[in-house]
Amino acid sequence: MFALFSPRATSGGRMIAANPAGEAVMYDADRQLVSTLGRMNERKGVYPMCLHIAHPGRDQDSLYVMDTYPGPGDDGCFEVLEYMPECSELSDMRAAWRWRLLPPPPFVRQPGYRRPSSITAYAAVVDGNGCSTVYVTCEGSIGTYSFETARLDSHHRLGGTHSEEWKHVGRWSLPFKGGAQYVPEFNMWFGFSAFSPGHLCALDLSAMHHDRPPTALQVWQNLIPPEVEWMCIPVRFELLNLGDAKFLIAGTFEAETTGQRFALLTGVE
């Protein structure tokens, strides 16, 4: 697993990496420092959901990680990496950060739920009231759920409190595949269309209605890969926000005849 903290003054160059056993490290590119973060409570499988959220009144982001193939009754599929202010003066980075298990999505405990049912889309939304919410869509008829992570609370010493409550939003699916990122310059979320694989799309998730899914405001035509003698099969796409209205799309493709994989990097401005 690799995850990048959201660009801001305190975390612009911080990256998290974890091996298959769940042992995690943080690399601070600005300070050229590598620190251990201990081990996750449970392993999160291949290509887990990773969402960084800046909570109101706090200087450090939190990283929410979920197994995208949660099993029936899997109570360890969802957790958060969070900063502990009371430990900020300690020199041991592992003491200042901790992994904490969170309640799993309710559908993993429902009768009849079977694996593999994958999380197909996810995004984080922070509204004007300082409430941060994670949205996930699970394949099939399960639909979309929301998880409220925190909200503003003037009486709390940190300025906000954990709410950590799951709600069923609707039986519809979010109209993108994988993760969607919020880009402040446009006040929109960017991801890849669920209906046109590999095509970049822009969405407004700020006002999520429970009776209908959001719609893509714009879907751009995908770059045509270079002509080759063999058929290219798209495998996976990742989007990196470079800032200043520039993005990088990293596409992984597989040769149909040989099974050899290669990457194609596309700049978008």
Contact assessment for residue 125 and residue 205, using Cβ atoms and an 8 Å cutoff: yes
Tokens 């909570």 sit at which residue?
55
Residue 36 clears pLDDT 80, i.e. is over it: yes
Write the pLDDT tens digit of every residue in 115-132. Answer: 767 999 999 998 777 788
Measured between alpha carbons, how far is 94 from 41 in angstroms, rounded to an integer?
A: 14
Going edge to edge, which strands form the sheet with 49-53? 49-53, 62-66, 78-83, 97-101
The burial class, CB within 10 Å (0-12 / 13-18 / 19+), for 161 is middle
Strand pairing category for 176-183 and 119-126? parallel
How much helix, strand and coil, in percent to the nearest 5, is found in the chain? 5, 50, 50
Measured between alpha carbons, how far is 230 from 252 in angstroms, rounded to an integer?
A: 15
Q: Which of 149, 188, 150, 195 is nearest to 174 (CA)?
A: 195
Residue that wins the pLDDT comparison between 95 and 97: 97
Write the pLDDT tens digit of every residue in 146-199. Answer: 999 877 555 554 555 667 889 999 999 999 999 999 998 999 999 999 998 889
Give residue 9's pLDDT: 46
Q: What is the mean pLDDT of residues 204-224?
A: 85
Distance of CA 11 to CAs 36, 136, 148, Å? 16, 25, 23
Q: What is the mean pLDDT of residues 227-247?
A: 84
Q: Average per-residue pLDDT in the chain? A: 85
Q: What is the mean pLDDT of residues 67-84?
A: 92
Q: How much is the CA Rg of the chain, to the nearest whole Å?
A: 19
pTM of the model: 0.87
185: left (phi over 0), alpha (psi -120 to 50) or beta: alpha
Contact assessment for residue 235 and residue 254, using Cβ atoms and an 8 Å cutoff: yes
Residue type at 231? M
- CA 172 to chain CA mean position, Å: 19
Residue that wins the pLDDT comparison between 59 and 75: 75
Secondary structure E strands in 117-260: 119-126, 132-138, 143-152, 160-170, 176-183, 188-193, 200-203, 216-219, 232-243, 246-255
Q: What is the mean pLDDT of residues 90-110?
A: 80
Give residue 85's pLDDT: 66
